[in-house]
Structure 1
Amino acid sequence: MTAATSPPAILRAASPPLSLFDMPFSAPDRARGLATAQTPLHAPTDCKGLVLRTLPNDDHQRVFRALGFNPQVIDAKDLTEAVNSGQVDARENPLTNTFNFNLHGPMPIITLTAHLMDIALLVFNKARLATPPEDIRAAITLAASEATAAQRALAQSDDAECAKARQDAGATLVDLTTAEHAAGQAAAAPHTARAQHDAALLGLWDDAAPTSQMANSAPSAQGGEAV
């Protein structure tokens, strides 16, 4: 058997016909926020010129530049050092990562922008899913729906616990008004619209959404790495 380190990889190696693949950095149902040392980020003008640690994703970086940031790709293993040393002025992470990496110290102001949503994606091979009897397909769809609801509830509970823990430790969580959210969306709109209407990308999911249980709603862009 080929060496494997994650459950999907182990199953894939044991039974190739299952057509499984790895998504090792998925962070289910986590809304990402922006953290800074002193100033909340209420508007794109507050972001102007700030060096932002970000993920190696061209779409993300285009959006952040449109908001005024100077995005800088930094690997997760170097994130804590980059924050503690002042290499970056801002970072963007889910609250769970702020908690797990203990990042609130040097950057205690966390603006709850929900600018990206990390998702856990359940994907089936369309041809293989059409093979089992209808009752099996119905059971799979029901199980996926129930798992989706349970995961979202778990994510919300985790976020609430992490938010309280960070506030108890001295962090400040800042909510945006509807108008402030709208201003950020307007600044990023040319780039988020490009991602939403990419015909080649959308074609990958043709007729797949009801079974794959993709998120019913999410912010205008989605992230797939946990950190």
Structure 2
Amino acid sequence: MKLVRNALLALGVSAAMSLSASAADYVLKFSHVVSPNTPKGKAADFFAKRLEELSKGRIDVQVYPNSQLYKDSAVLKALRLNSVQMACPSFSKFGKIVPQLALFDLPFLFKDIDHLHRVQDSAVGQKLKDMVTAKGFVALDFWDNAFKQITDSKRPLIHPTDCKGLKFRIMSSKVLEAQFKAVGAIPQVMPFSEVYSALQQGVIDGQENTNSNIYTKKFYEVQKYMSLTNHGYLGYLVVMSKKFWNSLPDDLKADVKQAMKEATAKERQWAIELDKSQFAKIKEYADKTGKLQITKLTPEQIAEWKKAMEVIYPEFYDPKLIGKDLIQAAQNTK
């Protein structure tokens, strides 16, 4: 044993890891784009540890955070090639493959986080996952970021009409484009990495995002107003390489499903906690500096926004876009 230990030390850490991996029957590389201390990053690490436990070391899970392997824009192609075995892209990355995932972009579709999770865990969520699986991936589960809020630099956004004429950055999404047009705003597609400077320079007036994105990217520093609308949702879909999945025996597939089920429960809780803690930091900044005015909309005001925005739903009743059946099934989920 001493000779083996000394040999491993001589080989170095990376070689030792390779020897350890070779002891496993399968190597699963999990690529994601965020830091390990985020809900997604923590859940990926939890999944890795739990799957290795459940499989008794037969699957060696290697997590690569911070785009070390691939950016989300390239990871789906890598999954098809089995160059990486698992990833967790945002829904927008599936836009051209399964446009029906834009269901989650629809404003005010979900009453609250519990309703959202019931939809994701229902036949609606399964149908969407089946659509992704039919396109050459294995869709495992939905992970949360959080609900979105609206910020701007011009005036408090209390009524939908307050958005009239303002320029808002959006992700590339027909739903989000229609959403802002419905309230008289001007949507502008822009990469996430350019939003801070565009807000700072006045190229755009505002943006929509989760508390964690608003805080970590410091958007609150270059905005004067923030309205707590919870109008839309940001999330991710955990997907696996179909080639890798098909190579697994049934007992290991069951282990993957169990580890994912547990990781999803953890991720959801961590996302809620982060959303609350980072909003508290934004509010602390607002209270301390007076440079940001935060408006908590009343139920009546929220209802006004909902009425103004949900008029876009029929635009997406076409099954090739989202589908009336999916939208109504989500609305009717108890």
Same fold (TM over 0.5): yes
Q: CA RMSD in A?
A: 3.8
Residues 72 and 157 (structure 1 numbering): CA distance in 2 closer, same or farther, change over 3 Å? same
Question: In the alignment, residue 163 of structure 2 is paired with which amino acid?
Answer: C
Match of 1:187 in 2: 308
Residues 16 and 162 (structure 1 numbering): CA distance in 2 closer, same or farther, change over 3 Å? same
Match of 2:82 in 1: 16
- Give me the whole-angstrom Cα distance separating, in 2, the residues matched to 1:78 and 1:37: 17
Match of 1:214 in 2: none
Match of 1:221 in 2: none
**SS of equivalent residue, structure 1 residue 122:** strand
- Give me the whole-angstrom Cα distance separating, in 1, the residues matched to 2:149 and 2:282: 13
* Higher Cα radius of gyration: 2
Asked whether 1:155 is paired with 2:276, we answer no
Question: In the alignment, residue 121 of structure 1 is paired with which amino acid?
Answer: L
Match of 2:195 in 1: 79
Question: In the alignment, residue 233 of structure 2 is paired with which amino acid?
Answer: M
- Give me the whole-angstrom Cα distance separating, in 1, the residues matched to 2:198 and 2:209: 14
Contact 1:63-1:192 within 8 A present in 2 as well: no
Question: In the alignment, residue 54 of structure 1 is paired with which amino acid?
Answer: I
CA shift, 1:186, in A, is 1.8
Correspondence for 2:174 among 58, 67, 85: 58
**SS of equivalent residue, structure 1 residue 115:** coil
What does the per-residue CA deviation read over 1:120-161, in whole Å, with 9 as the maximum and x for residues that have no partner?
112457898688666555443333222222111111111112
* TM-score with structure 2 setting the length: 0.50
Higher normalized helix content (fraction of residues): 2
Correspondence for 2:234 among 96, 111, 118: 118
Asked whether 1:6 is paired with 2:70, we answer yes
- Give me the whole-angstrom Cα distance separating, in 2, the residues matched to 1:63 and 1:147: 32
Match of 2:7 in 1: none
Greater relative contact order (Cα 8 A, min sep 6): structure 1 or 2?
1
- Give me the whole-angstrom Cα distance separating, in 2, the residues matched to 1:22 and 1:156: 18
Match of 1:212 in 2: none
Question: In the alignment, residue 74 of structure 1 is paired with which amino acid?
Answer: M
Aligned residue pairs, count: 202
What does the per-residue CA deviation read over 1:187-219, in whole Å, with 9 as the maximum and x for residues that have no partner?
222323444x4423569xx9xxxxxxxxxx79x
Mind listing any 5+ residue stretches in structure 2 that lack a counterpart? 1-67, 94-142, 287-291
Residues 129 and 178 (structure 1 numbering): CA distance in 2 closer, same or farther, change over 3 Å? farther
Asked whether 1:42 is paired with 2:151, we answer no
Residues 133 and 198 (structure 1 numbering): CA distance in 2 closer, same or farther, change over 3 Å? farther
Asked whether 1:176 is paired with 2:292, we answer no
Mind listing any 5+ residue stretches in structure 1 that lack a counterpart? 207-216, 219-227
- Give me the whole-angstrom Cα distance separating, in 2, the residues matched to 1:157 and 1:190: 32
Residues 129 and 198 (structure 1 numbering): CA distance in 2 closer, same or farther, change over 3 Å? farther
- Give me the whole-angstrom Cα distance separating, in 1, the residues matched to 2:241 and 2:222: 45
Question: In the alignment, residue 157 of structure 2 is paired with which amino acid?
Answer: L
Report percent identity of matched pairs: 23
Contact 2:163-2:185 within 8 A present in 1 as well: yes
CA shift, 1:108, in A, is 3.4
